[in-house]
Structure 1
Amino acid sequence: MAMSRETLLGYLTDAFPEAEITLTDLAGDDNHWQAEIVSPQFSGLNRVKQHQLVYAALKGTMGGELHALALKTKAPES
């Protein structure tokens, strides 16, 4: 099963409304995505905590509807 760009972007923008989000379909199959997320919610958090927030935003779809997601996360630069 695959996840469309619109669905993935919906999950991420719901969880990170002020973020800059860039999605790249790495294999052209809606199954292997890269997400680059710059969000104020990541301020003061290490990368593991940032990624945990992203996975929580996906509401259990990781590994099922969403097969693979490469993440690049960071807080905005001041």
Structure 2
Amino acid sequence: MGPVAQEVSRRLTETFQPVALTVRDDSEQHRGHAGHREGVETHFTVEICASAFAGQSRVSQQRMVYAALADLMNNPIHALSLKISAPGH
């Protein structure tokens, strides 16, 4: 796991105390596409399950994650695919 993925994981863990978290660097799959920068982690898939998301709309859940990663968005993170859930859902 590269430094950006580690930082994403750290922040999401501290903010949401998830019961499950996967942070996958998909940057290499986007070689030659917009936002790809050689040697930089730019594209991620995040799967997170945490109680904090219970009762929240999908948009609210996404906003919560983006807020936790705000200063990483657009530099270095270009794209973030989110799969968000709450325990039991």
What TM-score comes out, normalization by structure 2 length? Answer: 0.75
Contact 1:3 1:65 in 2 (8 A): no
Q: Which has the higher helix share?
A: 2
In structure 2, the gaps of 5 or more residues are 29-39
Residue matched to 1:20: 20
Residue matched to 2:69: 58
Higher relative contact order (CA 8 A, sep 6+): 1
What TM-score comes out, normalization by structure 1 length? Answer: 0.84
Which moved further from structure 2: 37-46 or 22-31?
A: 22-31
Residue matched to 1:48: 59
RMSD (CA atoms): 1.9
Identity %: 34
| Distance in 2 (alpha carbons) for counterparts of 1:54 and 1:77 | 19
Flag as ranges the 4+ runs of structure 1 deviating above 3 A.
none
Please tell me whether residue 67 in structure 1 is matched to residue 69 in structure 2.
no
- Give the secondary structure class of the aligned counterpart of 1:60: helix
In structure 1, the gaps of 5 or more residues are none
